[in-house]
Amino acid sequence: MAPHVEAEAPPSPALTSTDSCSDDDEVYDINVPIRAGNKPLRKSSTPYPQYLPTWDPVFFDALPEFKFVDPALRADPLKRALLTPGVTMAPISPKMGTELTGVQLSSLTDMQRDELALLVSERKVVVLRDQDFADIGPFKQQDFANHFGKPNYQPVSGSVPGYPGFHIIYRDGNRKEIERYFEQKSSASIWHHDVSYERQPPGYVTLCMLQCPEVGGDTVVASMTEAYKRLSPGFRQMLDGLMAYHSSERICGFARSNGGLCRKDPVKSLHPLVRVHPVTGEKSLFVNDEWITGIQGWKKEETDWLIKYLMDHISKGHDFQVRLTWKPRTVVLFDNRSTCHTATVDYDGVYERERHMFRLAAMAEKPIPVHQN
């Protein structure tokens, strides 16, 4: 899938500003810069300036359907290549999450990567500290992610020049933007699966922290498998047969209305509300705040009621969530199929502190509905 150059693209600075937006404009996720503005806020202090967001004037075609074989299906169930002497695993919570030490992602063999995929499938979130992954460069970083699936080209956020698979998450302390956001919103939480609108959404997602506040800015992750299990049998049976529409139309429209670059036509897909994991066989809710626009065969009022009920259930389910604390050079891999997550904007000096990371999402199978299992 080769991108082609889009005519008359807006400028592509390293830093962004939305200060020119009017006060009555819609606000969106303040953790992700989606507007290619032409006036930087200030000089960045990030130790990784090569990963500041830029907007290459390219356009991406829709990803054609492809055959996906999960690397976890090739793995040794005992993970003997990955879990060598000196490697330790510590649970983050009983239900989900593992902190893995004694492993450097940059030096893993293909067999070890397969076993890491199995661990992520089983534990849903794997955290690795003190990694040199941030220093090996975008070519090797993208190559690592490609082992887990095809790269995702996000339509509106900044990336690394020449490497459109990078999704740069950069919070640069824009006071006016943050204040305007919280005039309209009471929380910055947006529970979501990454780009669930794609025909074959990501399975494995890699996050690498480059710079972050000393305290705060955590990511909260919920097990959608456990969230599904907590519902009554009758309610689960109803959900098992439902299909939901996921669309990127809103974020593309928001970027364009604010003078930004949308590098891919809006994508709309129909996915099951409950999906089956190809590795573990577990059923998980596949529902989120950000991308779902309707439920097939349901009226809007019915859809709104059900989505609100399920998102309240997920957001309040602290006994099937983990809160990930970030430090520079931390890398997190999570299973996008069986988890839902949100960032938090709670750190001191929010107007002055930078939060800078990148995401590499690996596209996987088309979500498997319960009736096809």
User: What CATH code is carried by the domain that includes residue 231?
Assistant: 3.60.130.10
Q: In whole numbers, what is the pLDDT of the chain averaged over residues? A: 88
* Residue 212 counted as domain residue: yes
Q: Is 328 exposed, middle or buried (CB count within 10 Å of its CB: 0-12, 13-18, 19+)?
A: middle
| CA gap 302, 287 in Å, rounded | 15
Q: What is the pLDDT of residue 119?
A: 98
How many domains, in total, are found in the chain?
A: 1
21 pLDDT higher than 70: no
| CA gap 114, 79 in Å, rounded | 9
| CA gap 34, 52 in Å, rounded | 13
CA neighbor of 360 nearest in space, from 122, 194, 224: 194
37 pLDDT higher than 60: no
Q: What is the pLDDT of residue 35?
A: 54
* Residue 10 counted as domain residue: no
* Residue 342 counted as domain residue: yes
* Residue 317 counted as domain residue: yes
Confidence of residue 112 (pLDDT cuts 50, 70, 90): very high
How far is residue 84 CA from its own chain's centroid? Answer: 30
The H or E element that residue 343 is part of is strand 339-343
Stretch 208-228: mean pLDDT: 94
Q: State which residues form the domain around 77.
A: 49-372
CA neighbor of 122 nearest in space, from 149, 85, 81, 91: 91
* Residue 364 counted as domain residue: yes
* Residue 35 counted as domain residue: no
Instruction: Give the tens place of pLDDT for each residue, 291-319.
Output: 999 999 999 999 999 999 999 999 999 99
Stretch 12-29: mean pLDDT: 47
- By the 8 A CB rule, do 351 and 179 touch? no
Instruction: Find residue 160's DSSP bridge partners.
Output: 163
Instruction: Give the tens place of pLDDT for each residue, 219-230.
Output: 999 999 999 999
* Residue 98 counted as domain residue: yes
The H or E element that residue 146 is part of is helix 138-146
Q: What is the pLDDT of residue 19?
A: 40
* Residue 295 counted as domain residue: yes
